[in-house]
Amino acid sequence: MIYRENGQFKTSYAADQQIFPIRQDRYAIAALLVFAFVGVPLLADEYMFRAILIPFLILGLAALGVNILVGYCGQITLGAGAFMAVGAYAAYNFLARVDGMPLLGALLLGGATAAVAGIVFGVPSLRVRGLYLAVATLAAQFFFDWAFLRIKWFTLDSSSGSVSVSNLEMFGWTINSPVEKYLFCLGLLAVFALLAKNLVRGAIGRQWMAIRDMDVAAEVIGIRPMYAKLSAFAVSSFIVGVAGALWGFVHLGSWEPAAFSVDRSFQLLFMVIIGGMGSIMGSFFGAAFIVVLPIFLNQALPWLGNLVGVSISTVGVSHSEFIIFGALIVFFLIVEPHGIARLWSTAKEKLRLWPFPH
């Protein structure tokens, strides 16, 4: 009843092409943004910021990047972790080696470096697809794991291979406390989400989706597969690279190559599958799900065990986490390949008609 666009008539194509054409959606997203920028900093405690909110924002950004490649352009990748690493180490090197490099500049240059790496490792996509492409991108993962561990130049010759960043500062604003870090990540995420949405609803986004859905037909109407695929790799890796730099700089502070292992690549891919392929919102659903679920299980499982008189060990909890993850991925692949985002849009469609059946 409340969620309905009755009486909202579009009188121009511009009005029809807004990101949120329904007025209620615009109010909801405005309220959500106000809550995220003002409400959350007042309400959340330090643990919430460190363990949930900051990881959620950064991994949400990385999942957004992966979704552009996997969900919109249909090119499967298992190298996302590597591109995060490229972003993190490149940003670190720019910050450490270039005098007076601003934080934001280092992050963006880190992203740009990751974009270049993405283009290079995206070249196989011009010849192979599906599983074979996944294996080719896996090569990126192992190559960069090796490079950052063995080539000391990248880590400024630190003996352990671990690097650290301190004193984050931007335009005279020192980013120290969890709240400040949260706001910094949130701001970046909001900007990138908007830019990504603009891309996917515009001409380049349609080219990506055309390649994903029917590449022969796409070529026949003049889309160049090379440009479409490599631009998807570039944009995706750029965003993933920035997320990687944030993960190192803001979340970890000091890190070593293991922080961006193949596990991270899989985790990001799962976020996209569970959240919803080909949906910006889905990336955030997936990230929230995967960040929050382990914490929830940690709390809930021992309590549930006590309820039925079984004590569940910490090991048991972490094992059941894998089981539940695996089961959920299988569930989503079979029942709802478009993930939580599709459930969400189905619910909205139903709500528009409610209480009438159709």
- Six token digits for residue 143: 């190559």
The nearer residue to another protein, 227 or 354, going by C-beta atoms, is: 227
Amino acid making up residue 197? K
CB of 341 to another protein, least distance (A): 13
Query: Which CB atom, from 83 or from 238, has the smaller least distance to another protein?
Result: 238
The beta-strand segments (E) located in the chain are 163-164, 169-170, 173-174, 254-255
Cβ-Cβ contacts under 8 Å for 16 (sequence gap 6 or more): 10
Q: Is residue 207 a contact partner of residue 223, using CB atoms and an 8 Å limit?
A: yes
Question: Given the complex with another protein, which of 137 and 207 has the nearer CB atom?
Answer: 207
Classified as helix, coil or strand, 174 is: strand
Q: State in angstroms the smallest separation of the CB of 231 from another protein.
A: 6
For another protein, which is the closer residue by CB, 222 or 357?
A: 222
| The token pair that represents 92 in the structure block | 């670190």
Q: Could you tell me if residue 204 is left (phi over 0), alpha (psi between -120 and 50 degrees) or otherwise beta?
A: alpha
Residue number, 7 or 222, with CB nearest to another protein: 222
Q: Which residues pair with 163 in a beta bridge?
A: 255
Q: What phi and psi values does residue 170 have, to the nearest 5 degrees?
A: -140, 125
**C-beta of 237: minimal distance to another protein in Å?**
14
Residue closer to another protein (CB basis): 180 or 215:
215
Q: Least separation, in Å, of the C-beta of 235 and another protein?
A: 7
* Bridge partners, residue 169, by sequence: 174
Least Å distance between CB 215 and another protein?
A: 10
Distance (Å, rounded) from C-alpha 200 to C-alpha 223?
15
CA distances from 301 to 267, 274, 295, 297, 314 (A): 22, 22, 10, 5, 10
CB of 19 to another protein, least distance (A): 9
Q: Residue 53 — left, alpha, or beta (φ > 0 → left; ψ -120 to 50 → alpha)?
A: alpha
Q: Summarize as ranges the residues that interact with another protein (CB under 8 A).
A: 13-14, 17, 195-196, 198-199, 202-204, 206-207, 209-210, 212-214, 216-224, 231, 235, 278
Cβ nearer to another protein, comparing 21 with 253 = 21
Q: CB neighbours (10 Å) of residue 167? A: 8
Between CA 49 and CA 273 the distance in angstroms is 25
Residue 20 or 47: the one with the smaller Cβ distance to another protein is 20
Residue 17: CB minimum distance to another protein, A? 7
Q: Which tokens in the block code for residue 37?
A: 């920028």
Least distance from another protein to the Cβ atom of residue 66, Å: 17
